[in-house]
Amino acid sequence: MPNYDIVPTELIVKAMQDSGFRNAAYALAELIDNAVQAGANKVELICIESESVLGAQRRGRLSQIAVLDNGSGMDATDLRRALQFGNGSHLNDRKGIGRFGMGLPNSSMSQGGRVEVWSWQDGIENAIFSYLDVQEIASRDLRVVPEPVKKDIPSIWNKAGESFSESGTLVVWPRPDRITWKTSRALIFNTEEIVGRIYRRYLNERRAFIRLAAYRDTELDNPLIDKKAVPTDPLYLMERSSCPSPWRDTPMFEPWGEPQIIRVSHKGEEYEIKIKCSMAKKEPREGHNPGGEAYGKHARRNSGVSIMRGDRELELESKWLPTYDPVYRWMGIEVEFPPELDEVFGVTNTKQSATSLSQFAGTEKGEMPGLYGFTTWQEMKTEWAEDNDLRLPLLDVIDSIESSRTAMHALLRAQTKGQRATRNIDRNSAESTGTDATRKRQAEGKEGTSDGQEKLTKKDREQNIVAGLVDEGVDEEQAKELAQITAVNSLKYVFGHAPSTGSAFFNVKPAGGAMLITLNTTHPAYENLVGVLEDSADEEGVGSLKARHKKALNGLKLLLEAWARFEDEQPDGKPKTDVQDAREDWGRVARGFMTES
């Protein structure tokens, strides 16, 4: 007889196994969620390997996986509910990290064809057991969750587990044949950083301990791997983390600005969204190629906007801080919201994404109104407010992320360029060449307003240059380095790098007998021209390409120096004001051209 079920069983099975988990680490995180929700402070991920013959070689292959916890355990009713899709004991509980009722069956079936569960509330000798099996469901031999029965926990888990207590739960995947990683070492290596990041607050505050262990099935007394998960903090503010030495036990970043609080009214209640930022200290960014160091690579892997649902991370959205730009690895942004705002953020039932927020990632703020059929940002906000669109608070979140990352990027870029400028001063530099050209003009009787201060002592020159650079927004330490090398070499020009709110691509001012040329790191010309040229000039390599890059960089600097001298030679009053106005006007035109490019 034809089958006319509303949802055919074979489609249910496929939905179980294609439930959209990114990998086994995120599926295992669902089981850890259940443990934490049940009050566990100890959770163990245990892998069992069996010997397998591949060709002429014998290799260990992942054969079983278990998650053991010392939580409150489940009675027979709760155990059956936990194995139902869309059911559970914490449905719509907004106080914890669960609520969707999909975690155990969804995650388990996505990684294999069977899940077995033991749970106990008054000693492991009283453990009850139930299971799900895809093959039995597909053949219609299993139509309901089996009635839990009292059953002894297999000895393999008694030997491998360390957290058996008066109450708890053991979830076993006896045939994890859908997992990409085929060895316990690969599974744990790829899981520990993700788990450490998702539960970093629990681990850092010692509210939970997560053990990662692996055994060969024939050697249960001698673990292949046995370690404790440590926090992975993408903000790098925790004192104890997985960041490599020398930043394992001390924060590599420091807070940037005050946390921003966005207050939201939802379903008659008031909630807060908190946005926190951090930026790398000076020390980890010093030296040759800090991004190539182990801690630099660690920062690259964990670059992105961390979206936190309460104390648990949903995802690290990399599109806002793309890794192709090395500057982004040295900053961190965290967005935290309470579970009560799940609908606002579009949280998925697998707790891997806040889809309503993530859909905006990678899109420039200025482009967003057009994508949604609006002319301006304010028009979009106004109409969404009138329509009571749930996404309205996210516009303030996006605004905060955009402004914070832009400001931090400009500051980091300016500091990095300042360091390069100090290293690259030599007799063939643009600064030296420009100084020689100025000396010739002075010999021809051309005077600049800065020339009079050349008679100051070296110490006074340095102090004036430092004050001038700092006033322009240059980092004080780098201002001191630049001032020292400028005064020692009697240079006429010094380049600073700092963000500016003005329209000009660069600012010019005399100080200490030199002309300070401060490049505006927020101007499009900076990223499209100066940044590219300086990055290319610093790259390792030989040949004409590198020489051309350096020549182009020097040519650009000489061009700016020529303008600076032209401005310096103008008499005070209207002539000088006109030239300065022209520079501002030119900056506005250049901004338009660069934005369109």
Same domain, 171 and 41: yes
Same domain, 354 and 454: no
The enclosing H or E element of 270 equals: strand 269-280
Q: Which of 213, 164, 207, 161 is nearest to 185 (CA)?
A: 213
Report yes or no on 177 lying in a domain.
yes
Indicate the range of 225-229, 378-382, 416-420, 563-567 predicted with least confidence.
416-420
- Choose the most confident range, by mean pLDDT, from 35-49, 310-324, 551-565: 35-49
Report yes or no on 414 lying in a domain.
no
- The answer to whether 187 and 181 have CB atoms below 8 angstroms apart is yes
Backbone angles phi, psi at 348, to 5 degrees: -80, 160
For the stretch 152-172, pLDDT in tens is: 999 999 999 999 999 999 999
**What distance in Å separates the CA atoms of residue 449 and residue 567, rounded to the nearest whole number?**
9
Same domain, 543 and 575: yes
Same domain, 395 and 543: no
Peptide bond into 246 cis (omega under 30): yes
Residue 397: what pLDDT? 95
Report yes or no on 248 lying in a domain.
no
Q: 347 has which bridge partners?
A: 354
Same domain, 121 and 192: yes
For the stretch 438-494, pLDDT in tens is: 898 889 888 888 998 988 988 899 999 999 999 988 888 888 888 988 888 889 999
- The answer to whether 362 and 305 have CB atoms below 8 angstroms apart is no
Write the Ramachandran bin of 175: left for phi over 0, alpha for psi from -120 to 50, otherwise beta. Answer: beta
Same domain, 556 and 469: yes
Report yes or no on 492 lying in a domain.
yes
DSSP-derived 3-state class of residue 119: strand
Q: Which domain holds residue 361?
A: 253-405
Same domain, 353 and 446: no
Same domain, 335 and 481: no
- The answer to whether 413 and 500 have CB atoms below 8 angstroms apart is no
Report yes or no on 417 lying in a domain.
no
Check residues 94 and 177 and name the one with the higher pLDDT. Answer: 177
Q: Which of 347, 320, 324 is nearest to 332 (CA)?
A: 320
- Choose the most confident range, by mean pLDDT, from 57-61, 273-277, 506-510: 273-277
DSSP state string for 134-146: HHHHHTTS--SPP
Same domain, 385 and 281: yes
**What distance in Å separates the CA atoms of residue 48 and residue 218, rounded to the nearest whole number?**
10
**What distance in Å separates the CA atoms of residue 470 and residue 476, rounded to the nearest whole number?**
6
Report yes or no on 419 lying in a domain.
no
Same domain, 211 and 109: yes
Over residues 306-335, the mean pLDDT reads: 92
Q: Which of 117, 127, 214 is nearest to 170 (CA)?
A: 117
Residue 141: what pLDDT? 85
Residue 207: what pLDDT? 95
Same domain, 325 and 355: yes
**Burial call 307-316: b when 16+ CB within 10 Å, e when fewer:** bbbbbbbbbb
- The answer to whether 331 and 279 have CB atoms below 8 angstroms apart is yes
CATH code at 107?
3.30.565.10
Give me the percent of the chain exceeding a pLDDT of 90.
Answer: 51
Report yes or no on 135 lying in a domain.
yes
**What distance in Å separates the CA atoms of residue 338 and residue 64, rounded to the nearest whole number?**
35
Report yes or no on 332 lying in a domain.
yes
- The answer to whether 145 and 130 have CB atoms below 8 angstroms apart is yes
The enclosing H or E element of 68 equals: strand 57-69
CA 217-220-221 angle, 5° bins = 155
Same domain, 398 and 430: no
- The answer to whether 110 and 19 have CB atoms below 8 angstroms apart is yes
Choosing from 405, 438, 456, the residue where a domain stops is: 405
Q: Report how many domains make up the chain.
A: 3
Single-letter residue type at 510: P
DSSP state string for 155-191: HHHHHH-S---SSEEEEEES--TT-S--SHHHHHHHH
Residue 537: what pLDDT? 45
